Homo-oligomer: A and B are copies of this chain.
Amino acid sequence: MRIVKTAEERKNEILDVAEELFAQKGYDNSSTNDIIAKIGIARGTLYHHFGSKEEILDALVDRMTRDGINSAETISKEKRLSIYEKLTGILSSLSVKSSAGKEIMEQMHKPQNALLHQKMQERLINGVVPLIAQLITEGNKSGIFKTRYPEEAAEMIMIYGNTAFDDNENLTPGQKKKKGKAFIYNIEKMLGAKEGSLEKPLKQFF
């Protein structure tokens, strides 16, 4: 007797297994056969729920980035937080992105995952850059920042942050720490913030 589930249940089941496999072997090296074998469903079932392998990836990227983007949105709305705290809060919420898929982050930069990386980056940029840009604009008005290009500064922060903190496996803890400090320092300078103004609130999150 075959097992029937609701579309949503089945979709999530597929995404769960896909996430696990992609984390282990990478996107390119995981086949749709691997997925259906692990779940115990037929080819037709998989393609009943998703139109293609890439569509599975898209849905997975969506699910993986949703948390990060949501918490970034929540943080940016918190009225009792200062702009400094909001900005550093958003950045650190992204660096811990996908608590479930920590493993997947560790091989994000590998060739088999180039597409996954690109899609995640695009998604995060679209979701978070506007929030950061908004924060910078506010900071400009209140006088704690001073830059003529909030939007582009936000983009630069996001793109660099997302690419640079991906593949930190081969770095010593000391190097990691330096890289993080440099990041904050560079943001401060780019935004025309007072030196150290972002470093302090960041410590809340570590």
Name the interface residues of A150-174: CB closer than 8 Å to any CB of B.
151-153, 155-156, 159-160, 163-164
A186 and B152 contact, CB distance less than 8 A: yes
One of A33-41, A69-77, A96-104, A109-117 at the interface: A109-117
Report if A159-B163 is in contact (Cβ < 8 Å); known contacts: A114-B114, A118-B114, A192-B189: yes
Which of these, B111, B160, B191, contacts A156 with CB under 8 Å?
B160
B192 and A179 contact, CB distance less than 8 A: no
Residues of B near A109 (CB, < 8 A) are 118
| Residue in A115, A156, A185 with the greatest tally of chain B CB atoms within 10 Å | A156
* Interface assignment of A47: CB less than 8 Å from any CB of chain B: no
Residues of B near A117 (CB, < 8 A) are 114, 118
Q: What is the CB-to-nearest-CB distance from A89 to chain B, in angstroms, rounded to a whole number?
A: 21
Q: What is the CB-to-nearest-CB distance from A161 to chain B, in angstroms, rounded to a whole number?
A: 9
Name the interface residues of A40-92: CB closer than 8 Å to any CB of B.
54
Q: Report the separation of the CA atoms of residues A54 and B179 in the bound assembly, to the nearest whole angstrom.
A: 31
Report if A152-B182 is in contact (Cβ < 8 Å); known contacts: A118-B111, A163-B159: yes
Q: Report the separation of the CA atoms of residues A181 and B182 in the bound assembly, to the nearest whole angstrom.
A: 24
Q: List chain A positions with a Cβ less than 8 A from chain B.
A: 54, 109, 111, 114-115, 117-119, 121, 147-149, 151-153, 155-156, 159-160, 163-164, 179, 181-183, 185-186, 189-192
